Amino acid sequence: MLLYGAPGVKKSWLVQGMAYTLATGDEWLGFRVEQARTLLVNFEISAVSYHWRLRDMSGAYTLPPQMLFESSPNTLYLEIRENFNRFMEDIRPIAPEVVILDCLQGCYGSDENSTQEMSVFLGHMAELKAEFHCSLVIVHHSNKNLFVGSSMDRSRGTTKLPGWVDTVVYMVKQPSGTVQLQFSKTRQSRRELRNMNINFHDYIWEVGGNNAVRTGE
């Protein structure tokens, strides 16, 4: 999955809530969830700040042991083979079933517009997925071109990244104060999902507004 949006739209809070529900096996935004050992990798804020954020959110969940892990390596460009190998060594004891990378600019230091350089990064991500048989969520920023019509094309940089994933989700604030998730179909998609409005309250994300949601599988 590629999840992207403008700064301040609460992308990190969304994937943190996703991580907790994956670890607990609870329903997430109307989707059925299969419990999975989940690794949150924070490249964006300090380890201390991230710890406090997760601690505050943890009160809303009953977390089983050894199901949710967190790492804050600061900046670590994973398209560089040496860095990627070290990262893999660090997470092998966890054997995660879901890996969330938050966000791309902290784990990718090459030209975002270069298809060739992005392909190196995605090759390493394919190795990660193959070794652990895991799912991967990448958090990214949107571009500043407000005239781009398709949510599929609003992610920053080369289209190689949204073309590689199964699911593209654009996260955008609404005038009503809610946040909308806009799902885009890719070549890899197995189904189409309708957009949904969501609210963040007491560290829990809930479906809000009139948009229906289709149950996942």
pLDDT computed for residue 215 by the predictor: 37
Among residues 86, 81, 91, 94, the alpha carbon closest in space to that of 36 is found at 94
Give mean pLDDT, residues 130-139: 98
Q: Which CATH class is domain 2-208?
A: alpha beta
**β-sheet bridge partners, residue 173:** 179
Q: How far apart are CA 15 and CA 54, in angstroms?
A: 11
The rounded mean pLDDT for the chain is 90
**Exposed/middle/buried for 216, CB within 10 Å: 0-12, 13-18, 19+?**
middle
Number of CB atoms found within 10 A of residue 23's CB: 24
Give mean pLDDT, residues 35-44: 97
pLDDT computed for residue 151 by the predictor: 60
pLDDT computed for residue 154 by the predictor: 75
Q: Is the pLDDT of residue 147 over 60?
A: no
- The angle that helices 81-91 and 115-132 make with each other, rounded to 10 degrees, is 20
**β-sheet bridge partners, residue 199:** 206
pLDDT band at 214 (very low <50, low <70, confident <90, very high): very low
Q: How far apart are CA 96 and CA 83, in angstroms?
A: 18
pLDDT computed for residue 211 by the predictor: 41
Comparing 24-28, 41-45, 185-189, the range with the smallest average pLDDT is 185-189
Q: What residue spans define the domains of the chain? A: 2-208
Q: Which one is predicted more confidently, 199 or 210?
A: 199
Q: Is the pLDDT of residue 136 over 60?
A: yes
